[in-house]
Amino acid sequence: MVEIFIAIAGAIILIPILLFLPSVFPKTVTFLHIFLAAVYFLVGLFLNHYFHWLGAASSIVLLAVFTSYLFSRRAERLNGRMAEEEH
């Protein structure tokens, strides 16, 4: 329970910082990153409660790798479409 309070306090501090600092990402992508970080945190808490910490940490790393793979594939498709429209 203490972990959730610490996470909420961290979010209250970090979300305004992320939104006001200049970024290479649009605001919607920044919100998506914040949302995914919250989901990873909650999944990690759930897994840590039921499994050994190493299994929970490994699962979160695999989830992050899979998510980044999906986003990179989507970006490649969007860049391919934009290149086709230019020609």
Could you tell me the residue ranges of all domains in the chain? 2-86
Residue 62 has pLDDT above 70, yes or no: yes
Rounded Cα gap, residues 35 and 48, in angstroms = 20
Q: What is the pLDDT of residue 87?
A: 62
Residue 46 has pLDDT above 80, yes or no: yes
Q: Give me the chain's average pLDDT, please.
A: 82
pTM: 0.68
Q: What is the pLDDT of residue 15?
A: 79
8 Å CB contact between 32 and 40: no
Residue 85 has pLDDT above 80, yes or no: no
Sign of CA dihedral 43, 49, 55, 58: positive
Rounded Cα gap, residues 37 and 43, in angstroms = 10
